[in-house]
Structure 1
Amino acid sequence: MAAAASAVLLVEDTPSLSLTYEMLLTRGGYRVECAFSAAEALDRHGRGAHRVVLLDLMLPDGDGIDVLRAMRAADPGVRAIVMTANGSINRAVEAMRGGAFDFLVKPFEDNRLMRAVEAACASADDAAAPDPDQAAAPGSGFHGFIGGSAAMREIYDVLRSVGRSSATVFVTGESGTGKEVCAQAIHALSPRRSGPFVALNCGAIPHDLLESEVFGHLKGAFTGAIGDRPGAAALADGGTLFLDEICEMDPDLQTKLLRFLQTSSIQPVGASTPRKVDVRIVCATNRDPQAEVEVGRFRADLFYRLHVVPVHLPPLNARGRDVIEIAEALLADYAREEGKAFRRLSAPVAAAFLRYRWPGNIRELQNVLRHVAVLREGEEVTLGMLPPRFSEAAAVAAPPTAPPDPGDLRALLRPLVGAPLDQIERDYIEATLDACEGSVPRAARMLDVSPSTLYRKVEAWRKA
């Protein structure tokens, strides 16, 4: 077995637990080295070639998160699985955001520990091999996504990291931004990729049937239950369960979902005993989940269980020229399906698409191009084939400007030599925002950076 040669550094200050974990891992074929304090852990990590670290967050001489940061500073590729007590979930979430590979909540079952270590070792193996996704051209797409804008490259990097973990992922974004595509990408990048991917839209199922849809039911459990039926959690055993529109879930069912996350056990409606399942949860919403917690519509403890690794998908109007790349791919698909000759967008259509706000995001783009492919003829999509709102967007679109000559640009910058770089950056970004009438997404497209990068910088300047 590949894991047999894997070296694991076990950092646990309780001798009885350390011995238990060491024996379990050794029986699984791993080489285990033990440390009982923060200082000893850093010393052994500095001297050894440990691919995986099993790290308790509560150590007698230091904070486990500080140890994690120091290890990652020395070796950014280290796979750290943090261990924490049941009442310290927030600490585990902090560790995941600080670069931990996975987390375990004590007490945990043997198979949960072994799965986490196996996934961490597999991830280390994958990292040592060339990654075809990393070598792909920026515009070639990524596991169902199309587009290579700065905003999406950040998303792809996050998905590469989190895909190989077993941590719960919480995807947010407007309707039509690709949240299910994101969940499928996470599944495809995970060690569970050969297992099932089961999607359940919590907002599309009546509240009185949602429990049965998630956990299943037995024959006769309620009126209309004419036979046993497995729920989505059972169907996803060994794979990934995607819960879309999670904030639509009834409060009573939120309690049962929390219990499921804590115990990895399901109890179908009408059953007297629970059963264990091995499922990774990815959930999504188009709402602000933190706001839902604050107004009492979503349980805070469930939120912290689910919101381990947040992924926010940008709206289509913040993705720059991705809209053109997506439109061209959709047009080719629809033209083939409808037997039409469409091959390209006209220049005015491309300009209008870049200027338009796309309130419906990719779903709206799909609708527009499907309409064209069904009802129109030709090789090129023109403005006259589109709804009037796109002609209005084209009318106000700014004419493209030629990029400045590098020599002229250097001449313009020469008077700035000697000024602090951070001040030059701030002045340039603020000038761009002024030119874009304060629109951060438009400024981000112009600067070819993620809108979140600009939001962070502007917020930091305001606080300074």
Structure 2
Amino acid sequence: MRDLDWNSFDVLVVDDEQDNLDAFRFAFRKSFKIHYALGGAEALSLLDRLDPAVIVADQRMPGMSGIEFLKQAKERRPDAAGVLLTAYADMTVLIDAVNSGAVDRYVQKPWNSKELAVILRQAIAGVATLRENRRLREQLAQYAGYLEREQRDPIDFGEIAGESEAMREVAARIGEVAKAATHVLIEGEEGAEKEVVARAIHVGSPREERPFVKVTCAAFRGDTLERELFGWRRGAFDGAFAERAGRLELAHRGTIYLDEPAPLTPSLQARLLRVLTDGEVERLGSTETTRVDVRVVLSLTPGIDEAWARAGVLPELVSRLSVFPLRLPPLRERREDIRALAEHFLRKVARRNARAATALSEEALAKLAAYTWPGNTRELENVVERAAILSRGDVILPEHLAFTARAQPAEPPARAPRAAAPAEPEADPAGREPAAPACARPRLDLSSQLDDIERRELLAALERCGGNKAEVARQFGMQRTTLYYRLKRLGIEG
């Protein structure tokens, strides 16, 4: 028989005579976790807060027979195994009991304690198997749904490729920690390759064939992150109409990636600490403990750890989450990687868009190398993708590159000699203000000009296709979600 902790499963015994309940208590109090009820009405009330694995009921009880009680009990607790005790060799009653579906086993009184103990263990083992199978099916179904909801490209580790010494060191650190079960803290600026590094750790580990579950913690506010991680029982809070497994259960035997988990409520801190120390989770509203084997990979933007300290995050939790810290250098500290990354992103765009450019000119690469990249590799990918679409040729030129407004390209190392200052314009005889020189007239910056070009092209395509956005997306070789984002960003409605 399975190696189970019998005392971790509840057994409910129902009888209308206290002496019978006392006899049951004396025989099994050390072997099972027993609960008692005098009669069916009291037992049904108890089932509102108790989820037993086995229900043992006497057949002859006033007001409600054992079979009637077990039928009602099955409606409330369908998983529970029903055991009927009867002192009468009444075949009609026994046949009725079995055919009702509410009775799984029957035992004639007076019962033998050893025989009944075996029956209880068999019933518990059956219920435990049923619950475990349901949990695994639920985990599989919800993880499949999770994968469908996640929109991402196939795993591609080109983003962490590079010739710089800093990235070679990062790759070596990934190789060191991947094969261990240690929790990992990844520190890096916004737009760095933190998720890609987390995936590389997972793929390089013995957990590769198990789930990799990503949680974007900033998408959850208040106690919703706790619900998402730990799941809930039906009725645990307003709107909990059905039971749901948390992301930690979905990641069982795999890896869970927590992206920027801040702030953390005291309740969530305590629950996370229990997972890290004991490997146990409880869904909200439940007292049932589920064991999970999960590797936690955590990403933080530099400075959040200081915010954690100010917010009073438990020192033990911080210590357990930062066993193996791994720092990702920003792109401005490894400019020698820009060419390889830009060419990688260009190939990635070309796989999705047959009309996109396939090469970068040396002048464009020089402009990329001179930029400060506050958005790191994510910004580089966006800049390259946009230039590849707008280039209208096979080669990206400097004028196709547009950077964000939050930072401008760094000054080139050498400047052309200054031209002589123009002479002061002569005053107009009529007393009018002199005309401003052409160089002083305001003009749009490159980013605005490219926005105008993209807006005109998209409007023309929408007109050609009669407003059919799916056809426009196909013509441009982009996903519909990307098209919707660009239309919204450029203020094109409809």
Q: TM-score range by the shorter chain?
A: 0.5 to 0.7
Query: Are residue 154 (structure 1) and residue 178 (structure 2) matched?
Result: no
Residue-by-residue CA offset, 1:386-416 (whole Å, 9 max, x unaligned) = 22779973761459xxxxxxxxxxxxxxxxx
TM-score normalised to structure 1 length: 0.53
Q: Deviations 1:205-249 (Å, cap 9, x if unpaired)?
A: 122311110011111211111211111100000111111102333
Contact 2:183–2:321 under 8 Å retained in 1: yes
| Structure 1 residue 143, shift from structure 2 partner | 7.2
Which residue of the partner structure matches residue 231 of structure 1?
246
Counterpart residue number, 2:409: 393
Query: Aligned with 2:384: secondary structure?
Result: helix
Counterparts of residues 46-125 of structure 1 (less than 5 Å): none
- The structural deviation recorded for 1:339 is 1.8
Q: Which amino acid aligns with 1:165?
A: A
Distance between the aligned counterparts of 2:350 and 2:377, measured in 1? 18
Structure 2 equivalent of residue 324 of structure 1: 339
Q: Secondary structure at the match of 1:295?
A: helix
* Corresponding residue of 1:347: 362
Identity over aligned pairs, percent = 37
CA distance in 1 between counterparts of 2:345 and 2:240 reads 42
CA contact (8 A) 2:364 2:398 kept: yes
DSSP-derived class of the 1:336 partner: helix
SS of residue matched to 1:210: helix
Paired with 2:414 and 2:181, the residues of 1 have a C-alpha distance of 46
The whole-number CA distance in structure 2 between the counterparts of 1:394 and 1:211 is 43
Match of 2:12 in 1: none
Select the structure of larger CA radius of gyration.
Answer: 2
Contact 2:189 2:330 in 1 (8 A): yes
Which residue does the alignment assign to 1:315? Answer: 330
d(CA) in 2 for partners of 1:158 and 1:286? 19
Q: Which residue of 2 aligns with 1:380?
A: 395
Aligned to 1:123: none
Give the Cα separation in 1 of the matches to 2:223 and 2:261: 16
Which shifted more, 317-326 or 236-245?
Answer: 317-326
When residues 392 and 235 of structure 1 are mapped into structure 2, their CA distance, relative to the original with a 3 A threshold, is: closer
Distance in 1, Cα, partners of 2:403 & 2:270:
48
User: What is the number of equivalent residue pairs in this alignment?
Assistant: 259
Contact 1:352 1:397 in 2 (8 A): no
| Aligned counterpart, 2:373 | 358
Structure 1 residues 297, 346: closer, same or farther in 2, change over 3 A? farther
**Residue 260 of structure 2 is aligned to residue 242 of structure 1:** no
* Distance in structure 2 (CA, Å) of the matches to 1:355 and 1:196: 40
1:179 and 2:197 are equivalent in the alignment: no
**Alpha-carbon distance in 1 for matches of 2:163, 2:270:** 40
> Which SS does the other structure have where 1:282 is aligned?
strand
Query: Which residue is equivalent to 1:272?
Result: 287
Q: Which runs of 5+ in 1 are unaligned?
A: 1-140, 400-464
Q: 1:271 to 1:392 in 2, by over 3 A?
A: closer
Distance 1:389 1:225, change over 3 A: closer
> Runs ≥4 in structure 1, deviation > 4 angstroms?
141-144, 388-392
One-letter amino acid of the structure 1 residue matched with residue 293 of structure 2 = D
Q: Displacement of 1:285 after TM fit?
A: 0.9
Of 184, 206, 212, the residue aligned with 2:227 is 212
Question: TM-score, normalised to structure 2's length?
Answer: 0.50
Following superposition, the deviation at residue 146 of structure 1 comes to 2.4
Between the aligned partners of 1:221 and 1:392, the Cα distance in structure 2 is 51
Matched, 1:166 2:181: yes
Helix, strand or coil: the match of 1:157?
helix
1:143·1:185 contact (CA, 8 Å) conserved in 2? no
Cα displacement (A) at 1:251: 3.5
1:206 and 1:268 map into 2 onto residues whose CA distance is 18
Aligned to 2:269: 254
Tell me which of the two structures has the higher relative contact order, counting C-alpha pairs closer than 8 angstroms and 6 or more residues apart.
Answer: 1
Whichever residue aligns with residue 396 of structure 1, its letter is: P
Relative distance call for 1:336 and 1:167 in structure 2 (3 A) is closer
Q: 1:157 to 1:212 in 2, by over 3 A?
A: same
What is the rounded CA distance, in whole Å, between the counterparts of 2:318 and 2:188 in structure 1? 16
Q: Shift in Å at residue 202 of structure 1?
A: 1.3
Say if 1:389 and 1:143 are closer, same or farther in 2 by CA, change over 3 A: closer
CA distance 1:346–1:392, change in 2 (3 Å):
farther
Q: How does 1:135-146 map to 2 (within 5 A)?
A: 145-146=160-161
Q: Distance in 1 between matches of 2:264 and 2:188?
A: 18
Q: Unpaired segments of 5 or more residues in structure 2?
A: 1-155, 416-494
Structure with greater proportional helix content: 1
CA distance in structure 2 between the aligned counterparts of 1:287 and 1:225, rounded to whole angstroms: 36
